[in-house]
Amino acid sequence: MELIPITPTGKGPADRFTGDVYVTQISSPRAPSYLSAGIVHFTPGARTNWHVHPNGQTLHVLEGIALVGTRDGTVVRAQAGETVVCPPGADHWHGAAPDTLAVHIAIVVASSDHNGTDWLEPVTDQTYLAAA
């Protein structure tokens, strides 16, 4: 058993997020499981860039309404208590609805040679507003 001290919350980097996003790391990938998990706080209208996870991603919503969009225009609106599973290799983005915050736990399985996420271009305002 290991007790991990509280991890400071940091602002999400502008090259990966639009708007104000704050991340508290729960676990960092390390052998043997390479599980990475964090609590992500999105202010209203904030969102990730497009990105992809070779091993998929699980998002469990804790507060507010989270939007999760895919390249084909599909959008899932998930509320507190609901979980969204993004399949391996699927380009997607996620964030808060325009009028409410969203908080979720993001879970990714990395590997010994990859951190589990490939970051892509920002989601345009047009794409976000169509989803919202």
For the segment 62-121, what is each residue's pLDDT rounded down to a tens digit?
999 999 999 999 999 999 999 999 999 999 999 999 999 999 999 999 888 888 999 999
What is the reported pTM? 0.93
Strand spans (E) along 3-127: 10-11, 17-18, 21-27, 35-42, 47-48, 51-52, 57-70, 75-79, 83-86, 92-96, 102-109, 118-119
Mean pLDDT of the chain: 95
According to the model, what pLDDT value does residue 4 have? 85
Quickly list DSSP for 60-81.
EEEEEEEEEEETTS-EEEEETT
Domain positions in the chain? 19-131
According to the model, what pLDDT value does residue 70 have? 97
Decide if pLDDT at 31 tops 90: no
According to the model, what pLDDT value does residue 19 have? 98
| CATH code at 19-131 | 2.60.120.10
